[in-house]
Structure 1
Amino acid sequence: MTPTPKQAPAPEADPEQVHLGVNKTAGLGALVINLVLLIWFWGQWSAFLAVLGVATVLMLWNLVLIEWLAKWTSRSVLETARTVLNVMGIAVVGHFTRWAAPVWIYVPYNLIWFYGLDRWVRPRGVFFLLSVDAIAWWDGAAPEVLLAFSLLGVFGFLVTEKRVELLRGALGRTLEHQQELRDAHQRLQRIHQRAVEQEKFSSLGMMAAGVAHEINNPMSFVTSNVHSLLKDLQQQPALPEPLKEYVDDVLPATLEGIRRVNAIVADLRRFARGDPDIHSEYDLNTEARTALRLAHNQLRHCQVETELGEVGTLRGRPQQIVKVLVNLLANAGQATPTGGKVRLSTRPEGGEVRVEVLDTGEGMSPEAMRHLFQPFFTTRPPGAGMGLGLAVVRGIVTAHGGRIQVESQPGQGTCVTFFLPRVPPPGAGVRSAASEA
């Protein structure tokens, strides 16, 4: 038979349900053909008995025995045996009917039945057709009938094969589209989950700003009262010995603790407030210390090192720079096991300022590195992290005219470095607002 255009390789065998469905339909067709032949040769008893005997054997084999034997051997072996048995059956019927035209209907019908079983379909089809044609030619069949039904069988086989190939392609594309839709649905679910988390963080930020405001008022009284008490005690000419300890140690240490609380409250209010952050001059090292205080909970299990060089003042949006540093420090703390090290350093480099956050944590795989700056990408479990994402971090740094780079290897920690110009380029305010959103 002539080959068809190249197609995707067929599987070794069709699914069992498909095979059973085709088998039932094919069996019905074979039954109808056999009944027609029995009616056709009624009265020609040798031919009638040949058709009846062969039909009984083939029907018994094709519809009963082949399914029973399928439990012990492969479908491919059984189909080969079926092909040989069909050739023998057609040869017997053809001989006793002198290869009458109705007998030849077996040839195209069997060829159509061949498609879709396994990769040996075509070789079996070629064997079937050549065997039947050779036996018929040797047994005196009319050449024109042999040729006509052989061509009908060949092209019926090819048309059926092509049709099923196109249907398989359409089904494959449909399955691919379904998979794409499932993937898109999962991405939307993740984005929705991240949006919900972002909304939670926004609400927590507003709550934190309110709490900080409420704490600020009583802390002002506490600060003023303790400072006044210390000043009054220091002015006393002769203090009892127990009170001297308060003047020299207890109250100064208390004031230092109060100043730290006030600094944290002020940082929290500035970090969480919703007021627009305008471009202004700021001390990068001061903002770095603010970020360290805000990220203290994420870093308490680590050894924190700072190396803040003389970088001077920069111009930009200090609130956003604090957000960048808090996010990087929190990520570093989450990735670092207990006893590990997180280091924050700043130093001038050329006309820019270099900021580096290094940790000795678990590091990242090359696959994670490829998706590092994609929105909503995270390697953390749900609820972990600040929720800002490195995509927003890069957006803020880029909006300030800077650049960011990440170096990481699994098991060897991560180093995030970003560079900031001392003065952002023109138009940075618009891009910054977009990045923060």
Structure 2
Amino acid sequence: MTTDLLSRKADFPGMVTADGKPWHYLDTAATSQKPQAVVDAMSRALGRDYATVHRGVYGRSAEMTLGYEAARRRVAGFVGGQEDELVFTRGATEAINLVAATWGAANLNPGDRILLSVLEHHSNIVPWQMLRERTGVEIDVCPLTEDGRIDIDAARQIVDKRHKLLALSHVSNVLGSRLDVAAAADLAHSVGAKLLLDGCQAVPRLTVDVAALGCDFYVFSAHKLYGPTGIGALWAKRELLQAMPPYQGGGSMIDRVTFEKTTWADAPQRFEAGTPAITEAIAFAAAVDYVEAIGMDAAERHEMALTAKAREELGRINSLHLFGPEDSAGIVSFTMDGIHPHDLGTILDEENVAIRAGHHCAQPLMEHLGVPATARASFGIYSDEDDIAALIRGIERTIRIFG
């Protein structure tokens, strides 16, 4: 564990209980805690600096507009993109819906096919099913390897010229398994298909460079990257964005409006109808500043070390069953004989340990695993070995209670 990360817990005001005790927060895959720097950035944007953007001719509005567009550049640059390739959305869910409703509706026809995988989050399943109802596109599902990775070899046996899109998770939100993105991109492009990556769990944990990955669309959310809720991003190749029709109509996304005809603004503004999430965008950029000051390589090493430690400790408990690969990225899912994950989560809460219990918006994966739910512990840059020790103590107490 790197020494520069050992003191990071103090940067996060939410990491203590109401009575001042340590809170062992192991639910970062659901949403991350926020560092004081992000809280302060949002507070300034909501208070001292607040004004609307893109419309005002007065000084503070002009300054806020500069700040908002600077945030776009900052977030785009964080994943290796350019500012005109990045659309602010309400989150990764809306970003996927945007692609389905615009690029998908314009480019997919009856008989065309989309490839998903067994481990996808519902947000990367349901929008494509809705598109299927509207367009007649068909959906194929790629199986997993024995250790819980998307099986690219199996995908090669499925994908053909009828496939127009592969939409896959970069990192699984349940298993922590990483996609072989290079192989997925090669496969997609070999048949003329596009590749969309759900990067929600990857962006907080790995260095992401969309150009190096070779994807066509990349989506992620701020709240999993130590930023605010209510905002996320769609990165897409410039030529794709420029060709896509608008997602919603309203202010800001237009060039000229008459009752006879409306013309659209260029991308990305074309996809941001209405007053945007101004303060959230600025706080999003502050979160990027925070994690980049630490370094994504250091964050990845830190979380990988904790994951290995947690799997080692959990693996010593005979009644506990681990899922996913040994090198899972910051996420550990498991079940226990005779103990429902919800019961475990409730008892752990009494010990000031917060985990996730449920299907994690991945019901097809639960069916594949043969369980109704799992318990999930997930790490962040504020996590440490004390959190793992508290988790183990809570599990041992739960075993005694149910024993």
Larger helix proportion, structure 1 or 2? 1
Same fold (TM over 0.5): no
TM value normalised by structure 1 = 0.20
Larger strand proportion, structure 1 or 2? 2
Which structure would you say has the larger Rg? 1
TM value normalised by structure 2 = 0.21
